[in-house]
Structure 1
Amino acid sequence: MALLISEECINCDLCPAECPNEAISMGDEIYQIDTARCTECVGHYDEPRCVDVCPVECIEQDPANKETLDQLAEKYAAMYA
């Protein structure tokens, strides 16, 4: 499942630098995650780095983009083939 940044985001600028897939960018008001690029850090780290560094815990699972661990690994493999 890709991740989602909620409206509680304070634009602290920590998460974009932590994302190895460059999936996080500034939206109209808060940061947003590109679901096509988000692998929840599968292939890079054991846990999503953005979630680890978020000071307000506003990054959560995106229920509209459910993916299995295998699907995330396939997405990672396709991006870095």
Structure 2
Amino acid sequence: MATRRTALPLRLFCIVLALFLCSNALTAYFFSHSIRQVIVATLAGWLLLQISYFGGVLFLIWRSCRIQRVCQTEKPRKKFR
């Protein structure tokens, strides 16, 4: 049986990250024509990505703990004969 990969490969993640930051920088430069504005917008986009990644990790930890707690508190049912 083949194993199913659910994680995003690192190389693909880096490519998507670079594309996002470059497109964000080009868009900011196109509208503002200011290098300072490009730097601020790119750093803001990078910070937003970091915050959303951290939030996703916290959500996965919370969901895992919640599932474990539910499994531990679930009492086995008695069978009547």
| Structure with more relative contact order (C-alpha pairs < 8 Å, separation 6 or more) | 1
Q: Quick check: which has more Rg, 1 or 2?
A: 2
Q: 1 or 2, which has the higher strand percentage?
A: 1
Q: Quickly name the TM-score band, shorter chain normalised.
A: under 0.3
Instruction: Please give the TM-score of this superposition, normalised by the length of structure 1.
Output: 0.23
Instruction: Please give the TM-score of this superposition, normalised by the length of structure 2.
Output: 0.23
